[in-house]
Structures are given as C-alpha cells and as structure tokens.
Structure 1
Amino acid sequence: MGDTTENESGASHSRKVSPHALSELIGYIYDCALDPSHWERTLTAVMHAMSGESVILSLNDLRKDRFLIEKSVGWEQFGIEERQKHIPEIHARLNEWFSKGPSMDEPFIASRQFSPDYIEGSAYAQRCLKPLGIVDIMHLFLMYTPSHFSEVVVGRHQRHGAITEREIEIGTLLLPHLRRAVTISNVLDTRAIERARFAEALDALRCAVVLTNSEGSILHANRLAEHMLQNGAAVQGTSGILSAKAPAAAQELRKAIRLAARDEVALGKTGLAIRLTGQEAPPIFAHVLPMKGSELRTQLQPEAVAAVFIGPSMAAAFELTAAEMKEYLRGRFGLTEAETNVVLEISKGDGRSAAAARLGIAATTVRAHLSRIFEKTGVRRQAELVRLLM
C-alpha cells in the first residue's frame, strides 16, 4: 500500500498512505467487526501500510502472564513459540509504562523507551526479536485495565529501520477504527453474520442493535433493542428516529451516524463509545459501525448506513471488584491495607476530607498516607494518582 523509495543506507520508507488506500484499509478493519475471519487479511494490510515485518492483535491477561486471544501475521512458528516464553518480560515493561499514566492514544515504541544497554541484556530482544531481524516494536493500545489489555503490535525489520513519525501518524489514524471494530466484535461475541440473514442474526444476539439510515431513521431493531426503545431508559425512537436520552449522547450519536453515511475514514473517535447512562448507573455504551464502506457490509440486508450496537465497553468484562483492586494495588505498588483504602476513597473524587470521613480517620492521616502513596506509585499530585488508578 503506497509507493516506496530507497534511502542512501538502503532502507526503504513508504510514502504516506494514499487516501484511497487508507479508506480501503479502514473498510477492512470494519469488516472484521462482523466477520472475524477477515482479521488475517486486515492485519496483513496494516503490516504493509507500516512497512512492518509482523503484526499481532492480542488480548493479554496481566495477572497470569498469558494471551487470551492472539491473531498474528508475519510470525514464523519459532517466533510465536519463543515470544510466549518472554511474556513476563513484555508485561513487566508495559506495566511500567502504564504506571506512568500515559494517554491510551500514545504508542509504546521500543526504540524510544529502551537504551541500547537494556536491549543488549534483554532475553526477549536477543532470543526472539534479533533472530527474526526485528529491530523495533510499536504497541498500539486498544483497551487497558489493571488486569487485562488489548493491543496491536507492529514489528519492524532491520531493512526498514526503526519506527518513524510516519508509522506513528498511520497508527494514530487507525487506532480509533481498530478500537471500534474490536469493541463491536467483542459485543457480538465474535460470531460471523450471514449476509442474507442479517436481521435474523441480529435478533439472536445478546446485545441491542439498531440499523439506521443517514437521518437516524430506524430501519431495523433487534429484540433487545426493541425492548430498550420501549423502556426508554437510555435510547428512544421518537417519530421513528433513534436518539439517546442524554443530550450530549444524542448529539454525538447524530454526528456519528451522519459521518458513517458520508465518510467512515473521518469517523475517528466519534461514536466509538457513547456513554448512554449517567455516572450513578452501570455503564452502557453505543458503538456506531459504518455500513457503507465495503462490499461485505453493503450487501447485508436490510441495507443501512449505520449499525448502532448498545452494550458495555470492552473493558467492562474485566473490571475489578474492590477486593481485586486492593490486591492489585498491594501487589503492584507495595501499598499497605490502610493506603489502599485511602487510594480507593480518593478515587471517588470528592476530596480528602470526604475520604477521611468515610474511613473514620483524620484528614491529616489521609495526607500522611497520600505522601507515602505518591512515593510508592511515582506520582506527585492527587489528580495524577486518580488518573493512574483509572
């Protein structure tokens, strides 16, 4: 995808991906939401777009150092088997990265995070990546909780050199589309949907789905969506138009449907996860999938410009209980029982005095605990601590 040129050192660098090629690639990504068998084709296209040697799509279990889901292209059997041996090292380095509280939109790039000395001493780099000729790795994060994360990993061969700003730019463009496809695929329970029996297949799903035209008119709602529309708690179908009850959610939903009809490349983060419920209620999200960008989706019946999937976020399935969060904080940062209690109360966002009152301790004691918590977690302010916890 895109032309390539040779620089003086012999390394090839692709020019920017053309708008047509980018549109085609994003279309491939969205096809995967409805048919997971398309992931191999899509990951191959991502690999070529980034002049990569390999690409991995995975769901990782941080507590047990294992992959729950892994799809890859470009990895020989040796590489797959050898990489499995080094999951603890990979997870340890990524956990250090997560603990700094970076934006989830910021990629982790090995060549920019590790010194040459570390790479020389890394078992993963020397025993797995080096024999395959891989000189740099970029991690794009789709979802993160303290116990699990999902990512796309791009490996670069020595003939292309380290990851450049070009690959970072492409990854940034693709990231919201990858998140949307993986989230919807998760909501769908990763089952392929037959084209000719689309409406029937939607009725059998365990999530609510509404098909709309460009104006948001409801063309089809599966059984769960019909119940939700009648109940009117989160979404409604006034005069046959799909809308969210919350004003901000309704505005984003309308915008996402219009963009889905006109230009799915421009959709970006819009409609990726529209929260339909208030902060006091269990989170329910609307995820808007464009339906006009590829032959697979345009042939589905009934024909629609957008499919709105209503369900929990991808991370919701991996949310920790209070007890699990305490165990995580003690194990990850070495916090005491009293310190973990303070962290959990502070995370509620209503200040130190309120946290002290709920815990039955003095505000000065909370302040003393926070001083030690900051030292152990590597943050300097209360806002940074809350962001780290989230």
Structure 2
Amino acid sequence: MPRPDVDAVMTAIDQLLAGAMDEEQMPAAAETMRKLFNGSKACFASVGPEPEDWIAYATNPDISLEEHCFGELAPEFVEMGFALRGIPLGVVYRDQEVFGTEALHRSRVWREWMRPQDMYGGMACRLADNGEAFWFFDVQRGERQEGFDGEDAALLGKLYPVLRRVAELRRHIGRVTLQRDQARGTLDRLALGITILDHEMRITYANERADEILASPESAAGLRQGRLFARQPADQRKLKRLVEAAQQSAHDPLADHQASMILRGSDGVHSLSACVMPAPSSACPQQHGKVMIALRRLETATDLVACARQLFDLTDTEARFASALANGSSLTEAAEAQRVRISTARTHLARIFQKTNTRQQSQLVSLLRSAALPLQPR
C-alpha cells in the first residue's frame, strides 16, 4: 500500500490546525486524516461520564453519531471509553488489542454502529485528559482493506503532538465560547443598552436592548452606516469628545475615565442617559482603544409595584402605596386611590419605612425611583 508523501502529511497538519481554531473545520480535518491513513472512517472524540463531555467530529456525516452515542448504546460507549483510560497518552493502540476481536464483535457497539459503517479494524491514540473525560483520535479500515501495520502506527505516533495540540485548543476554545455565550445571554437580559465602539464610533457589539434603542426613529441616538450618532448636533459633538477621551485613557492603567451625559430626543421626550467608559483594553497596544457606552431610556419604571415587592419584600398593598408615592401622589391621594383611611395609609407607610430602611417620604421616593430592576421582562 503506498505511503503518504511529505506534502500529504503537511496538508493534513494544516487542516488539523485549521480545525483547532474553527470548529466547523473539524469534520474536514477528520476527513483529511482518513485519507492520509487510507481509512474507512476517522473521528476525533471526547468521552466522559457526563453528557457535556461527549463531543465528536467524524467522517461519514450522514450517519448520526449523536443518535447512537446518546441513545440506547450510550452505556456501551461509556464502558468502552473507560476501558481506554489506562492507555498512556500518545501510545498508539488497535481496537482488537484492547478489547479482543471476538469480544469486540459480540458488542452492540460493533454490531449496530461499527459494522454497518465498514469499521473492521481501528487504530487510535488518546490525546489529552480533561478530568475524568479524555480526547482521542481513531481511524478505521474496512472489511476488504489491509489492517494497519507498524509504519501506520509510527506515522500516527509522529502526528500525536499536533493531534494533542488540536484537542487542547478545541477544549480551550470551547470553554471560551461557552463563557462568551453566557456573557452575551446575560447582557441581553439587561434593560440597559450596552454597546462597544471602535475608534471611528462603529458598533462592534450591541446587546438586544441597545439594538432596540438604536433602531427606534424616536430615540435620541441611532445608527448611520454602522456608526453610533446622537440626533442633536450639540449632543453629537459632546458624545464624540467623551468617546475620544475614553479611548485615550484605554491603555493608561492609572486612568479611571468615566463620563455621563443626556442625549435629548428630538421631541424632548425620548431622551437617553449615556455612560461612556473604556472597554477592557486589547492585548495589542498598537490597536486603538475601544469604548463601552451604557444607554438607558429616561423614563419612570413601568412596574414599580413588582420592583418594590421583589427588592424590599413588600406586600401587594404596601407595594401599591410605595409605587403611588414614587409616581408623585401624596399620602392622602394614595389613601383615596386605595380606598382606605389616612390612618391605615400611615400604618402602611410606617411598615414601608421599616422594610426599606428609610425615615422620610422623600427618601423613600428617591429610593424607589432609582430602584427599577435592570432586567428586561420575558
């Protein structure tokens, strides 16, 4: 059987490194390795005791690996995976050597998964441990193909450092991707608009609330060719100055630049508060600093009753009184609206003071008007 030349090996290494940085390239990397070893199928996989440990990038994408791994065959896959735990990292092994040919062919995994895909002889190595889970690479030969020999094993052994690096990078990037997705999900729950701008005021990130604010034609700020702008010329000039100052301080570890302004709506109603600050600095000092702007509509909280209940453990009645006071009603007006005596209203107010740790009605109103929960309703 012809051996792969240097170009074929280098092409495989290039594809492996591409897959390490881009998950979508991993099936192509598996396919390149299958061709390199003239195999019937190849697979990069992570196995472990938890469902989140199971990851696979394999050739033959028309066959549902997930359906088998997480279906009825899951216990058998787990048992076979843990049989490999004692094999040192980088040591090339063959399926028959580990499981025994007869025992392997009696297993449901071989009968229902491997044999239908012409997987009659496998060569593999463990790549990296991740707690109880581990990554491995496996390539198979078909029923009518010759088995793997010593030269095949030697080539796989030489490729092990690259394969190990691929597994480590995929694990690291997968963790970073999860953290990024969790952070984005959290930011999308905020009632604040969060935007990140480059040095030309182009938006490089915006959460859901920011998208909503900037898409409204009535908003005091919007987008023009991907750039943030204030609708009032005077506000635009001031906003640019604040952004430039924040950019200049982005790489200064001693700077603590943070500034706020009001962006006025054209109708005098739909105004925004804007807090401008440097975004976390880039690892590359030559890059321009980015700026984060938090946008919030200047409007009274729409559900102060719910906020008061959740934040201060007020009863429904107390929360309605507190909301009425925060919205400008006097205690007498609040009592009339709730159809209770003024003495009863004073009792409610005393309990509200106690629960909110305030002593005066003005303190209570100030606290409630700033206490709106910064979460978007779902």
Higher relative contact order (CA 8 A, sep 6+): 1
TM-score, normalised with respect to structure 2: 0.42
TM-score, normalised with respect to structure 1: 0.41
Bigger radius of gyration among the two: 2
